[in-house]
Structure 1
Amino acid sequence: MNINSIDLNLFLVFQAIYATRSVTLAGDRLGMTQSAVSNALKRMRERFNDALFVRSADGMVPTPVAERLIAPIEEGIACLVQAVDQGRTFEPETSSRTFRIAVNDIGQLVMVPELLSVARGIAPGVRFETVDASMAEARQRMLHGQIDIALGSWEPMGPSFYQQRLFDETFVVLMSKASPLGTRERIELDDYLAAEHVAYRPQGTTDSQLQQTLDRAGALDRRRVVLTAAHSLGLTSIVATSGLLLTAPARLAKAMVASRADLHSVEAPFEVRPFEIRQQWHERFHQDSGNRWLRELIFGLFHERSSREHAPQTRNK
């Protein structure tokens, strides 16, 4: 197939259909009519001699050929976007750029509200999209230019990525003020183990850190867990009304206490080794002025100095 004979705009249509699973939504995203998108899809089908997308109850489902094409097409589009933007200065006051941030629901609750509040005052046209992904998924999508920044306690992603420490996190115990332990400023390990608990088990390294901490304290298999929750949604009400204890990251607990006056948090009754929350990005966007603006904004909002800190940002080894 001769690349010179292909309209490169067809690849934008292909990407939009793949992302939205809809000809109509793809047209909305690209500012094209439904008939124009359908015509572009027809041309793509002729070029690749494959249906590419098949209508179903779940929308336009990609064929195996389309699944093989999407990664190189998205990587190529990302490279073209970077080439077009190369040397162009990011102007937050007038930009309408969309930044995609890989972050779990803890980070979305704790960090995104402040980021959005400040960014809206500086860059009113800029948009943000949070992405819930595993470390492997986030790394791959950053490599392909589909995610700008990753926030969290992930380990360094590899030699082609940069990382920057933001702050150290720890764990505290959250409870209702009406619970038997709710009036205390500190609790003992025996009280902790005698109480009933809700175990918050999100995907990612935050949960691994907590499991390791509880294991070192000899509490991992001794807690009386009544409820195991995969998401933070609803945890505030559960803790406030059930009398259960919740062991959670300190900043998440702080946000929960701020939202309800009937909640109270205390230090964990065992040793907690602080763990780092970092932002990471791929080297291909290291010099990108928009990505640099976002990194500097996040660093300015959330960075807390540590005696262990040396360089403000490092390239992974």
Structure 2
Amino acid sequence: MNFRQLDLNLLRVLVAIHRTRSVTAAGKALALSQPATSNALARLREFFGDELFVRSPVGLQPTRLCEQLAPAMQSQLLAMESLVLNHQPFNAQSSHRHWRLSLSDLGEILFLPRLASSLRQESPQASLSNVSVDASQVAAALESRDIDMAIGILKPQHRGIRSQLLFKERYMAISSKDWSPTPRGRGRTLSPAQLAQAHFLVVSPTATFHGSVEKMLTGMKLQDRILVRPRHFGAIAELAQNTDLLCIVPEMYARELSQRVQLQMWTIEDAPAYEVNLVWHSSTEQDSDQQWMRRVIERLFRRLDV
């Protein structure tokens, strides 16, 4: 085994397959074709004299040697990337950086337009993708650099994950103009007794959003009164306008929606607050480009009352 004969690009393939347990998924993450990724794996197997991965019903499983190699290689690759980036001053105006953020369905509605507008002005050659990552996998995606950062109701407890509180929110209810609570009240705050007589629409999104609304209603023993569960927020306005259902949504979205659509907004008595955080990996802490993007996001979305 002669280290000088090893193409170091192959190590990125090894790390990607180890992370995704799939040749196809690893190729997509590295912008390689499936045949090119398979060829790289064959070269790695020949160099190390080991299968490295074996097929199983749940995907490719690493051999003992691979389990020793891949984590150490990933750590070294991230360190080298940070070392290179830290010695290159970041120029936003001329950068062709492709930013990969993870935003929930609602986050895409609330954050992406303002962020894209700012990028077009401050870094016009840059591109931006919203990468769908399940909340439980955000820390791993940050560590592997599949995403640069994420925004959402996130507080990963993994080592190496950094976070910045952007703002605190609460849930509100929206309804059609014709809806009224039972028993009737005089104000715009719904009591537990009024909620107990309502029927609900609760969005059940994926990615970086979790089921806080459903948890709240379950705590009130109202989960059986949830009648509609759409996967996305896109249909909320029409559903609220054309049904007698009470839609529970974050306050920021309720206020944004009410500016465009004729709806009623209701405060929920004792509704729990939650935190919206910007999260990133500590290995990017000193990267000048990452620091710039974090400053942009904080400027756009961080509230001073946090």
Relative to the length of structure 1, the TM-score reads 0.74
2:200 matched to which residue of 1?
A: 197
- One-letter identity of the residue aligned with 2:276: I
1:287 matched to which residue of 2?
A: 286
Question: 1:17·1:26 contact (CA, 8 Å) conserved in 2?
Answer: no
1:313 matched to which residue of 2?
A: none
1:10-29 map, 5 Å: 10-12=10-12, 21-22=23-24, 29=31
1:265 matched to which residue of 2?
A: 265
1:1-317 map, 5 Å: 1-12=1-12, 21-22=23-24, 29=31, 40-48=40-48, 49-50=50-51, 62=60, 64-65=62-63, 68=67, 72-155=72-155, 157=157, 160-180=160-180, 186-189=188-191, 190-202=193-205, 206-208=210-212, 211-212=215-216, 215=219, 219-221=220-222, 224-259=225-260, 261-268=261-268, 270-306=269-305, 309=306
Whole-Å Cα distance in 1 between the matches of residues 209 and 99 of structure 2? Answer: 23
- One-letter identity of the residue aligned with 1:109: I
SS of 1:164's partner is strand
The C-alpha deviation readout for 1:171-191, integer Å capped at 9, x for no partner, is 11011224456xx97254244
Larger mean CA deviation between 272-281 and 283-292 belongs to 272-281
Paired-residue identity, %: 24
Question: 2:133·2:141 contact (CA, 8 Å) conserved in 1?
Answer: no
Relative to the length of structure 2, the TM-score reads 0.77
- One-letter identity of the residue aligned with 2:10: L
Whole-Å Cα distance in 2 between the matches of residues 70 and 105 of structure 1? Answer: 33
The C-alpha deviation readout for 1:145-170, integer Å capped at 9, x for no partner, is 33322322323635644332211211
- One-letter identity of the residue aligned with 1:248: V
The C-alpha deviation readout for 1:30-65, integer Å capped at 9, x for no partner, is 5xx9886665454234224438598xxxxxx74645
Whole-Å Cα distance in 1 between the matches of residues 200 and 28 of structure 2? Answer: 46
Whole-Å Cα distance in 2 between the matches of residues 120 and 305 of structure 1? Answer: 25
CA shift, 1:255, in A, is 3.5
Unpaired runs of at least 5, structure 2 = none
CA shift, 1:272, in A, is 2.8
Whole-Å Cα distance in 1 between the matches of residues 202 and 140 of structure 2? Answer: 30
- One-letter identity of the residue aligned with 1:83: L
Whole-Å Cα distance in 2 between the matches of residues 250 and 166 of structure 1? Answer: 15
The C-alpha deviation readout for 1:264-296, integer Å capped at 9, x for no partner, is 32222x123433222122322111111111110
Whole-Å Cα distance in 1 between the matches of residues 104 and 74 of structure 2? Answer: 24
Whole-Å Cα distance in 2 between the matches of residues 237 and 53 of structure 1? Answer: 50
CA shift, 1:300, in A, is 0.4
Question: 1:16·1:26 contact (CA, 8 Å) conserved in 2?
Answer: no
Unpaired runs of at least 5, structure 1 = 55-60, 310-317
SS of 1:129's partner is strand
- One-letter identity of the residue aligned with 2:195: Y
The C-alpha deviation readout for 1:118-140, integer Å capped at 9, x for no partner, is 11221122222333435542223
Question: 1:75·1:145 contact (CA, 8 Å) conserved in 2?
Answer: no
Sort the Cα spacing of 1:237 and 1:283 in 2 relative to 1 into closer, same or farther, 3 A: same
Whole-Å Cα distance in 2 between the matches of residues 15 and 300 of structure 1? Answer: 35
SS of 2:211's partner is helix
Whole-Å Cα distance in 2 between the matches of residues 113 and 297 of structure 1? Answer: 13
CA shift, 1:249, in A, is 0.6
Larger mean CA deviation between 33-42 and 77-86 belongs to 33-42
- One-letter identity of the residue aligned with 1:246: C
CA shift, 1:236, in A, is 2.9
Question: 1:197·1:223 contact (CA, 8 Å) conserved in 2?
Answer: no
Question: 2:153·2:274 contact (CA, 8 Å) conserved in 1?
Answer: yes
